Amino acid sequence: MVALIISTVYRSNLKAMLILPKVNLPFTTVSEFLQTDIPLHIIEGSLADHYTKDAEPNSPIARLRAKAMVNTDIVDAIRQVYMGELTGISSFLGQTRLLHDSFTKSGYCGVYQSLDGLLGGTSIALGFPKGSPLRPKVDRMIRGLREFGILNHLLFLQVPNATNCRIVSRSSSGNLSELRPLELKDFYGVFSLYAGGIVLASMTFAVEAIVKK
């Protein structure tokens, strides 16, 4: 039973390793992006623009600002992102729409998202006059929609193809990420176990054959 489980698991992993496409990404996090020479685009007047503009000197955010082009030409920036000439900072909704459009037009993921975010603590909110009695009611409604997953469902209902590009399979190079597809060296242990079992079985068979004679 143990041998059956081990062989089934490793055989499935081996199949996944052979089938899984290997994609070498130039970066997967903001810190890794800072080590590249890829230019950055920030939409002028956006939250990212204000956030990076007031960053502490020599901080990672300030380093992002130093290598960024800040303008309002979003159409040209998207074109350059598709061509692989630059990367861009935008809201989660904007990036989700970009992922959806990329997969819808080409049938494959031409762009991807980094694993971490720059403005993870921000969100979309509604504004009310101070002391408005509607605020607690709307908060309760939004909280319920979020906890039941209805908001995410409605979002990805409009951009269904974005889910195909949310997680990109790639091969690991350097210390880009601890998560990576399995490689041949990952199976050295089970191969050694298999070879040892074959050797022991062969020796046992030979001894039994000699003793029988």
- Same domain, yes or no: 78 and 6: no
Q: Which domain holds residue 14?
A: 1-20+183-213
Does 94 map to a domain?
Answer: yes
**∠ CA 182-188-194 to the nearest 5 degrees?**
120
Distance CA 207, CA 194 (A): 20
Write down the pLDDT at residue 175: 46
Does 67 map to a domain?
Answer: yes
Q: What is the DSSP letter of 165?
A: G
What does the block give as tokens for 165?
A: 């590009």
Write down the pLDDT at residue 174: 43
Distance CA 149, CA 144 (A): 9
- Same domain, yes or no: 7 and 75: no
- Same domain, yes or no: 77 and 34: yes
- Same domain, yes or no: 67 and 165: yes
Q: pLDDT tens digits for the chain (213 residues)?
A: 778 888 888 888 888 777 766 777 888 888 888 888 888 998 888 888 888 888 888 888 888 888 888 888 888 988 888 888 888 888 888 888 888 988 888 888 888 888 877 766 556 778 888 889 998 999 899 889 988 889 888 888 888 888 878 765 544 444 444 555 666 777 777 788 888 888 999 999 999 989 987
Q: How far is CA 92 from CA 1, 18, 43, 96, 113, in A?
A: 47, 33, 14, 6, 9
Write down the pLDDT at residue 178: 52
- Same domain, yes or no: 29 and 115: yes
- Same domain, yes or no: 171 and 192: no
**∠ CA 62-173-175 to the nearest 5 degrees?**
55
Write down the pLDDT at residue 128: 86
- Same domain, yes or no: 96 and 192: no
| Number of separate domains in the chain | 2
Write down the pLDDT at residue 140: 92
Residue 92 exposed, middle or buried by CB count within 10 Å (0-12, 13-18, 19+): middle
- Same domain, yes or no: 75 and 2: no
